[in-house]
Each structure stands twice: as C-alpha cells, then as structure tokens.
Amino acid sequence: MEQTWRWFGPQDRVSIADVAQAGATGIVTALHHLPTGDIWSAEEIAKRQAEIGTMQDGRPSGLVWSVVESLPVSEDIKKQQGDWRAHIAAYKQSMRNLAAAGIKVICYNFMPVLDWTRTDLGWRLPNGATCMRFNLIDFAAFDLHVLKRPGALEDYDDALQDAAARRHAELSEEEVEQLTANVVFGLPGAAEKFSLEDVREHLSEYSEMSEETLRQHLIDFLSEVAPLAEELDLRLCCHPDDPPFPLLGLPRIMSTEAQYKMVMDAVDSPASGITLCTGSLGARPDNDLPGMMERLGGRVHFLHLRNIKRESGNLRGSFYEAEHLGGDTDMVAVVEAALKEEARRKAAGRADCSIPFRPDHGQDILDDLGRRAQPGYPSIGRLKGLAELRGIIAALEPRIAAGG
C-alpha cells in the first residue's frame, strides 16, 4: 500500500519537510487556486510537482505527486446546464496534461453544492484534543432557522424540529455566524468560497432534481471521460458523499454500496472506480466497510482511512472524527481486505497492485492545537494515524503474503 499525505500547496501549515519526516512517499494535492472548469495546464502541473519535490531549504524531498484530489467536477456538469459541455472538454484536457506528467490517479466527487459538511471544525474532546463533528441538531437549527430553506420542515420530525428551535434560541449572534461558516466551509484551499446567498441560489437550482437524474448525469459524465482515462492509463475514483445521507434537500448518489454498484455497472470500465473513504461511508451504520472493500475491491483506486464515532444508531445522525483505531469502523479488517485485494492484483499481473492510501483527517493534538492548520488536516494527528495504520500493515503483510 502506497503511503500518501494530503497537502494543500505552499500555503499549507504542514510543510513538505513535515510530510517527508512523517514517512509518506506520495503527495495527494490539487491546483486549488484554479477555478472549477478551467484547464490545468502543463505549466501549472509542473510547477506543483516542483513544489512537492523540493523542501524549503532547497534540498530534494523525495516525494512525488501520486494522486490528484480533486480535479473538481463543476456544478454545470452536475446539473447539465450552462457551460457543462465546455467544462467536460476542459476536464479531458486536464486529464491529458496530468497523464503526460506521469500522474495516474484522479479523485473527484459528485456531491451537489458542498463537498463535506460539518457543524463544528474544532470540537473539544475530554482529553483536550479537538476534532471535526457533525451535530444533527445544530445542522437542523441552521437549515430551519438560519438558511430558512423552503421545504426544510419536511426533512425533520417533530422532535428534531423542537430540539433545533431550542438550540437556535440559545445561540448568540456570533455563534450563529460561526455555525454558518462551519457548514459552508466546503473544501479547504478551494478557489471558490460560498456565502449564505450562494448556497440558497445553488440549492434552488437543484430543487427539482431527483436522485435518479443526478445519477444519470454522473453516468453521462463518466461515459465521456472514462474511455479517455483508459486510453491514458489513468484511474478515476469517485469519493463518497460526506455525510452519506441527504442534506439540504439535495440528492445523494454515492452513499451506499448499492449506489456505487449502480454507477460502476453502468460504466463498466476498469478506469472508472472508487475512492473508498472509511470515514464518510462509516457515518452510516448500514455500510459494511470491510465487505465493501472485499466486494468492490477491484475498482478501488484510492483509500481514505479515517474513523468516526457515531452518536446514535440512526442512518442519519450525529458523529465526530475519532482516532484512526478508535471509532466504529473495524480498521484492521478494512486494511486486511485491502491487502488481500493487492495480493489478488499482483497475482493477476495488474500494474496497479499497490493501492495508494492516506491517513484521512486527524485530531488536533499537542502542537497541532497552536498551528491552526486546515480543519481535519493537522500534522501530528495525522502522523499518529499514519503510524497506527503502518503498524497494522506491518503486522498483516507477512500473513497475507504466506496465503493466510
């Protein structure tokens, strides 16, 4: 398994030297400064590769750009409106430029409007560490009383509506502003930042779109780009919805194994695959993560290994980002299934027998608490997670290599 690390570019509070010291060999990054829909030029790609390959003191880092996360899919493509055909053409050219630079794996997502959603970006744990959290009551308070989305009442039962009203009533003006900023935070490092009015406008454009329609738009997109990916020897991998249940009245199409299988069957190309994120998918108690890795493993091109702790047994509920080995997902079983998939690929002679993974998210601990890196991406918290995952791999590899 290739050990990678997400890096947001030169402005990241975690330096390339930090990553090298953590022991990762590959970098996961994107050209966050470029607007969605623009072509990633060969020059911009080469510039980022040079930044990855050089530490602050000018010495070579030994790191390479292994995975693109993300080459973003525009809202126009998701809606099949406006400049969507031009955006697909630009996407294809970016793929060509990335392939020419030797980069093989491209992660993307098809979530409408917002990438990931949390209500707290620095929730304090009993031991003093902080983490990201999704609180369903806080989110309902935002949806019902801050955003005031039309039709929102239909999405919450009476008890949750009452709890949300009480929660909103006790929030100060500053707390409401912070909750709003947290919910619309989106992806750290992205060129676009959403205001509340932006969110309302985007939501209105999806108000009549069904899950089936959005899924067909994804299938249409993949039907365009997957053949080129095969030709270029690229691997595309779709990230799951985060959280993996409906929010803000938006359709969700990548939240369960069944949903993934529908898309993979519709575009049955080895180049079109999955980013298996154990944190995103793990927020639903009905998602069997080790089983998904076993059953869908041939199409898993990238792994996000993180853990969450669910605060209820409901399909839609509150959760927080746990330690990598401390949440509800059996991480040892997931890694074992991934290693077995790698062994099957090696036996079949597949060139992609090493699956890149990264320690996704992490709790802010020790000096992380003062560094104020991007939420979810601290240095020491992820280093701890990577060390734990590396230990699992070291323990399991000899047994799996021996056929156990």
Q: Are 379 and 371 in contact (CB under 8 A)?
A: yes
Residue 101: burial class (beta carbons within 10 Å; 0-12, 13-18, 19+): middle
- Residue 275 pairs in a beta bridge with 302
> If DSSP codes are grouped into helix, strand and coil, which group holds residue 309?
strand
One-character DSSP codes across 16-41: HHHHHHHT--EEEE--TTSPTTS---
Q: Are 386 and 24 in contact (CB under 8 A)?
A: yes
Report cis status (omega within 30 of 0) of the bond before 378. no
Tokens read off for 369: 């608490």
Tally Cβ neighbours within 10 Å of residue 294.
16
Tally Cβ neighbours within 10 Å of residue 134.
26
Q: Is the dihedral of CA 269, 275, 280, 286 positive or negative?
A: positive
Looking up tokens 């991480």 gives 331
Q: Are 27 and 183 in contact (CB under 8 A)?
A: no
Instruction: Give 185's Cβ-side CA count (13 Å radius).
Output: 20
Tokens read off for 167: 């929660």
Give the residue numbers marked as catalytic. 239, 277, 304, 360-361, 377
- Residue 307 pairs in a beta bridge with 322
